[in-house]
A and B are shown apart, each in its own frame.
Chain A
Amino acid sequence: MALLEVKNLQVRVEEREILHGLTLSVNAGEVHAIMGPNGSGKSTLSHVIAGKPGYEVTGGEILFKGEDLLEMAPDMRAAKGVFLAFQYPVEIPGVATMTFLRTALNAQRKARGEGEFSTPDFLKKVREVAASLGIPQEMLRRGVNVGFSGGEKKRNEVLQMALFQPSLCILDEMDSGLDIDALRVAADGVNKLRSPDRAMVVITHYQRLLDYIVPDVVHVMSKGRVVKSGGKELALELEATGYAQYADAAA
């Protein structure tokens, strides 16, 4: 059984259909890249998997570990192991990063019927992971993402991923707004989390990110569907030819 099964998914935003029957299957241990031009529906897919309000699913289904994901509230999806690394992580003034991390981790553990982490264990774990990602302690005391640079915000997403240990990570345009150095640090953090129990879906417009996070499978999306799937060489091919041919194919 695949970890994530998206079957013939149709999604509307207000009156406009964005996904027109998208099918995707991701197994544990695999890294899938989803590429495509702007407006092809990549981010919509990531939002619908995470449960963002404002999208209407008019057809199809999403199964996660065999369960109907669309029936679950966003927090339940998180507790079950779905993690969306946001393209634009929000700033939350007044909520210290450390408080946020502890509240979120304990909420997930509670939902799974597990005990809360003890504070010393938690602090030790956070400090360890933060150090490996080059996140200074001082940042953890600040409001969530408040005053963080683009690179710091993305590293904060990876930090959460490492803490929560989700079984499905969706990285939505992780490379947007990052220079090469910042991208390398974030990608290294992601690569450390690759594991046979975990799948990753890397959504990106550019091939560049895939030099650092090398995918097992590459999908090309156009106009709300997956129009081609292949190995990692497909990404290189796209880099050479562009998306124009797929726009025609889907039309």
Chain B
Amino acid sequence: MNVAATQIDPAPVASAFDAVRARLPGTESVTERRQASFDAYASKGLPNRRIEDWKYTDLRVLMREVLPLAAAPDQAALQRAGTALAHLATRDTTKLVLVDGVFAPSLSDLAGHEAAVEIRSLAEVLRDDGNGNRADLLNINASADAMISLNAAMATDGVLITVADGASVGRPIHIVHVATQSKAATYSRSFLKLGSAARATFVESFVAAEGAAAYQANDAVVIWLGDGAELQHVRLMEDALDAINISTAVFTVGAKAKLNTFNLTSGGGVSRYQGFVSIGGEGAHVATNGVNLLKGTQHGDTTLVLNHLVPHCTSREVFRAVLDGRGHSVFQGRINVHQAAQKTDAKMMTRALLLSDEAEADNKPELEIFADDVTCGHGSTTGALDESLLFYLRARGLSEKDAQSLLIQAFIGEAIESIADDGLRDLAIAAGERWLEARS
């Protein structure tokens, strides 16, 4: 593995950046920001196990190289993406479609969305002459992570969504990432800003069009909740099983705001979903829940960093992993309670279910507490399906697979049930069922 690491030569990547920089939207300060971000990435290279945050997900081994930037989607690609969308069984949502990291207005629902919601594409904003100073959109301060830097350098497109103060948006806003290409990399970055006392639901789906294989997706989403805002966020990652998905989500939560975020990873050969939540206003409540469903040789990493910065906030974190074959799940949950954050009430529970002897679960819950009057706790378990429950179900007529499926659904149910919206909960349940169906 050391040999592989030392063989990485940043030069081809650097020349790849030079080759595509003209295609990347933005001028002046934006271009400078991209270059600085790329330099930051190039100086570090792919994250590896010597970097504590990436200990279990060594991209020098798992990813090895950064693929060339995907070409902008042509008519044929859009058509294939359209077919993939038709297969996406979702209820009534406002769909904003990114094909290979490029916003596709022709596939998106731009006409019907509510007046309180403003939607623009990132490329449009960065290209706009009056927006030469929008280099801030390429800044993410939550982490000095090489993959976030790479995303800032290469982000081709994304959507900026703004929900007006006090607005209550009924229809879920739904970003759908469709990959159509093979052996290419896509970079997208999106933004969601909820005004004070605004309410919305936000869904992200990652899917592959037929024939798309071995691609790399690097996505970032930056979300703000104004004071008193309420957001239900559901992310479903069902990328191709040989794809790589590295995604970052950054949440800033205002006073008395409520954030409920749920992630389900069942796709991708190698994936990392890293969430950074900052609770910056008193009286806020955050629920972060997640499920990894992995089989074959899938490697799925869910890393969540929760920062309690102010007093009187609560957070709940429930994570479940179900692992079959040689599936490898990583869960890193870190809760930082800053000195000022008295009366914080934070709990984290992670459980892994191993369906095979070769599956692996790494759980790393961490609490770092600098305040002295808090209620914090975490727990972690790893185990197999209970044989006595399996026999009971089989004695009642369920096949081995059906009995397992029922128990697995119950196991992940606790995380999925946290989704308040019935329709979105059904979407997550359906994604879980697709994984169970595909288990051989």
A residues neighboring B (CB under 8 Å): 50-53, 73-75, 77-79, 83-84, 86, 89-90, 92-95, 100, 103-105, 107-108, 111, 143, 160, 164
Contacts and interface: CB of A to CB of B under 8 A. Distances in A.
Given A94-B409, A103-B406, A104-B393, A53 B400 contact: no
B397 A79 contact: yes
A96 B256 CA distance: 34
A-B pairs with the 4 shortest C-beta distances? A94-B410, A108-B397, A78-B397, A104-B396
Contacts of A92: 389, 392-393, 407, 410
A100 B394 contact: no
Contacts of B406: 95, 100, 103
Nearest to B388: A90
Given A94-B409, A95-B406, 11 more contacts: A51-B394, A52-B391, A52-B395, A75-B399, A89-B392, A100-B396, A100-B406, A103-B398, A104-B393, A105-B397, A107-B397
A90 B392 CA distance: 7
Given A95-B407, A95-B410, A103-B406, A90 B389 contact: yes
B397 A93 contact: no
A160 B394 contact: no
B397 A73 contact: no
A78 B396 contact: yes
Nearest to B411: A94
Given A92-B407, A93-B410, A103-B406, A160 B389 contact: no
A73 B400 contact: yes
21 contacts: A52-B395, A73-B394, A73-B399, A74-B391, A75-B398, A75-B400, A77-B395, A78-B395, A78-B396, A84-B395, A90-B386, A90-B388, A90-B389, A92-B393, A92-B410, A94-B413, A94-B414, A95-B407, A103-B398, A104-B393, A107-B402
A114 to B, nearest CB: 12
Nearest to B414: A94
Given A53-B387, A74-B391, A160 B396 contact: yes
Question: Which of B389, B392, B399 has most chain A Cβ within 10 Å?
Answer: B392
A154 to B, nearest CB: 14
A233 B387 CA distance: 40
Most chain A C-beta atoms within 10 Å of own C-beta, residue among B395, B409, B410, B413: B395
A51 B395 CA distance: 8
B407 A78 contact: no
Contacts of A164: 396-397
A227 to B, nearest CB: 28
A52 B395 CA distance: 8
A156 B9 CA distance: 66
A24 to B, nearest CB: 20
A199 B413 CA distance: 39
A90 B403 CA distance: 14
Nearest to A79: B397
B393, B394, B397, B406 — most chain A CB neighbours (10 Å): B397
A78 B395 CA distance: 6
Contact of A86 (B386, B392, B409, B410): B392
A74 B394 contact: yes
A146 to B, nearest CB: 10
A214 to B, nearest CB: 26
Interface string B411-423: 1011000000000
